[in-house]
Chain A
Amino acid sequence: MSVGYTWVQWNRHKRVYDAVAAVSAAAFIAVYMLATKLAWSGANAYSDEVALIRSTGACAIVLLHVILCIGPLARLDRRFLPLLYNRRHLGVMTFLIALVHAVVVLGYYHGFGVSNPLVSLLTSNTNYGSLRAFPFQVLGLGALLILFLMAATSHDFWNKNLSPALWKRLHMLVYLAYALLAGHVALGALQNNRGAIGPVLVVAGAGLVVTLHLAAGWREVRRDRGHETVTDDGAEWIDVGAPEEIPENRARTVCTARGERIAVFRHNGQVSAVTNLCAHQGGPLGEGKIIDGCITCPWHGWQYRPHDGCSPPPFQEKVATYQVRVLAGRVQVNAAALPPGTLTRPATLPERAHA
Chain B
Amino acid sequence: MPDRETGADELYVGYLPVPKGQRRFLRLGLPLVLWVACGATFLWARSQHSPGTGAWDQGQPMRLMGVLVAAPYPMLFAQGPDGHAECVLLVEVGKHGGRHDAAVLDGRRVAASGWPLHRDGRRILELEPQDGALSAASDAGEGPVAPPARVRVGTVTLRGEIMDSKCFLGAMKPGEGKTHKECATLCIRGGIPPMLVTRDAAGNATYTLLESPGGGRLDEEAHAYIADPVEVRGELFQQGDMRILELDAKAIRRL
Task: Report which A residues bind B (CB closer than 8 A).
Answer: 11, 13-14, 20, 24, 27-28, 31-36, 38-40, 43-47, 49-50, 54-55, 58, 62, 76-79, 81-82, 85-86, 108-110, 112-115, 120-121, 124-127, 130, 132-133, 135-137, 187-189, 191-195, 197-198, 201, 219, 247, 249-250, 288-289, 291, 296, 298, 300-301
Contacts and interface: CB of A to CB of B under 8 A. Distances in A.
B15 A11 contact: yes
Contacts of A194: 49
| For the complex of A and B, 7 pairs with smallest distance between CB atoms | A35-B45, A112-B94, A113-B95, A124-B182, A109-B183, A113-B186, A301-B13
A300 B5 CA distance: 18
Given A28-B41, A40-B51, A82-B22, A110 B183 contact: yes
Nearest to B189: A114
B254 A32 contact: no
A110 B182 contact: yes
Interface size class of B (residues with CB under 8 A): 35 or more
Given A35-B46, A79-B5, A137 B11 contact: no
A47 B51 contact: yes
B186 A14 contact: no
A82 B5 CA distance: 13
Nearest to B10: A78
A121 B190 CA distance: 15
B44 A36 contact: no
Interface in B132-178: 172-174, 177-178
B205 interface: no
Given A192-B178, A291-B11, A298-B11, A197 B34 contact: no
B45 A31 contact: yes
Nearest to B49: A193
Contacts of A79: 4-6, 21-22, 25-26
A82 to B, nearest CB: 5
Contact of A189 (B3, B41, B179, B187): B179
Question: In terms of DSSP, what is the predominant structure of the interface of chain A?
Answer: helix
Most A CB contacts (10 A, CB to CB) among B10, B38, B180 go to B38
Interface in B26-56: 26, 30, 34, 37-38, 41-53, 55
A133 B254 contact: yes
Contacts of B55: 43
Interface in B168-222: 172-174, 177-183, 185-187, 189-190
Contacts of A201: 44
B44 A32 contact: yes
A294 to B, nearest CB: 11
A11 B15 CA distance: 7
B1 interface: yes
Nearest to B42: A35
Contacts of A195: 47, 49
Contacts of B185: 124-125
Nearest to B4: A77
B18 interface: yes
A191 B38 CA distance: 25
Contact of A35 (B9, B22, B25, B41): B41
A121 B182 contact: yes
Contacts of A249: 9
A194 to B, nearest CB: 8
Nearest to B50: A44
B37 A28 contact: yes
A143 to B, nearest CB: 16
A56 to B, nearest CB: 12
A82 B26 contact: yes
Nearest to B14: A85
Given A36-B46, A77-B4, A110-B186, 12 more contacts: A28-B38, A32-B42, A43-B55, A50-B173, A78-B12, A79-B26, A109-B180, A120-B186, A124-B181, A125-B181, A133-B225, A197-B44
B233 interface: no
A289 B182 contact: no
B16 A301 contact: yes
A197 B47 contact: yes
Given A113-B187, A289-B11, A13 B228 contact: no
22 contacts: A11-B15, A28-B38, A34-B45, A35-B42, A35-B43, A35-B46, A39-B48, A47-B172, A77-B4, A78-B3, A79-B26, A82-B14, A109-B182, A113-B190, A133-B224, A187-B178, A192-B177, A192-B178, A193-B47, A201-B44, A289-B11, A301-B16
A14 B1 contact: no
B45 A132 contact: no
B99 interface: no
A46 B14 CA distance: 43
A301 B15 contact: yes
Contacts of A47: 51, 172-173
Interface string B231-248: 000000000000000000
A135 B228 CA distance: 12
B233 to A, nearest CB: 19
A301 B181 CA distance: 49
Contacts of B108: none
A46 B228 CA distance: 21
Contacts of B34: 24, 27
A46 B34 CA distance: 26
